[in-house]
Amino acid sequence: MSASRPAAEINVPSGSSDEAPPPGRLELTRDELEVIRRVRDSLRSISFGTVLIVVQDGKVVQIETAEKIRLR
């Protein structure tokens, strides 16, 4: 059994603020937000299947979606 961790709070970048985010919060770049949006859209578009995220040098470079159609 694995221990569950609380979800991290996410802050959307707010233009030209020079202050650091409060402790325990994540500041995401526009590219990171775009990756999250695209993964979310891939997950919402399928009922059964897989979403594969390919990472190179710590950056998401590809998102593959494979949908399975189940016939009864």
Say what the pLDDT of residue 21 is.
59
Q: pLDDT digit string (tens) for 26-72?
A: 889 999 999 999 999 999 999 999 999 999 999 999 999 999 988 88
| Three-state secondary-structure class, residue 58 | coil
| C-alpha count within 13 angstroms, C-beta hemisphere, residue 63 | 13
For the chain, the structural domain boundaries read: 9-67
For β-strands 25-27 and 49-56, DSSP reports them as unpaired
pLDDT interval class at 1 (50, 70, 90): very low
Q: What is the pLDDT of residue 2?
A: 37
